[in-house]
Amino acid sequence: MNIPEALAGYERHEFEDTRWIRPVYRKGQGPAVIIIHEMPNLHPLVVRFADRVAAAGMTVYLPSLFGEDGRTPTKAYAMGQILQGICIRREFNVWANGRSSPIVDWLRALARHAHAECGGKGVGALGMCFTGGFALAMMTEPSVVAPVLSQPSLPFGKKGRAMVDASPAEIACAKQRLEAEDLTLMGLRFKGDAFVPEERFETLKQTFGDRFEAIELEPEDARPGTGMAPHSVLTIHLADEPGSATRMAEERVIAFFKQRVGA
């Protein structure tokens, strides 16, 4: 089984549950953290973040949901993924209809599996961009104790600006668990990001109160020279110099995982 160069050092296996089977890459030791990649694929900068989580004493699980694993993306490649039907595939729900994506069922099963394999207090889960809200919906799985929403971009469209891609029942479950189990939820975004409206973060703040830790960065905090408006907090637009605002945000996320999963 071939491993892409960008994922050297990871073990690859196929995980099957519910309706789907997907590749999952695993690395590290200690309690589990599931990192769900952004659009358009599981690219090298997602792996860089995963490497740092593994180095902090946790087992990283990288599920591959779309795109070519390990490929360095371009704007043309990202557009191609969208045009190939990512927005109409049955695994994903991208519009404002009060539902989460069906693939979240598979991710919940992966969390149960990862917790059984790795132990600890529970499992961390982080989604990015297209998958950003998945970590919130995953909280109906009791093993998920450290959810992080990085630049959650769904649902699309004006109707969904103040919404998150989770059902009312999933949101209510998350709210109940956060209080009952003394947990917190994290969210990250760049201010002014058209894909992550301010209204969406206001909804999260109003819904979860002080159980929601919001990290909202200034556009000038982003790594320059990408040719893109600041969006990908932990990957493409992370300014990697020690002490930068984005690097400190990354360090805060990793510390959050360590504390919650018991690394």
Task: For domain 5-261, give the CATH superfamily.
Answer: Alpha/Beta hydrolase fold, catalytic domain (3.40.50.1820)
d(CA 25, CA 251): 22
pLDDT at 87: 63
pLDDT at 1: 67
Q: What is the pTM of this model?
A: 0.97
Counting as low any pLDDT under 50, the low residues of the chain are: none
**DSSP class of 13:** E
- Calculate the alpha carbon distances from 150 to 19, 130, 233, 251, 256 in Å: 26, 10, 7, 14, 13
| Beta bridge partners of residue 127, listed in sequence order | 36, 149
pLDDT at 88: 63
pLDDT at 262: 97
Domain extents in the chain: 5-261
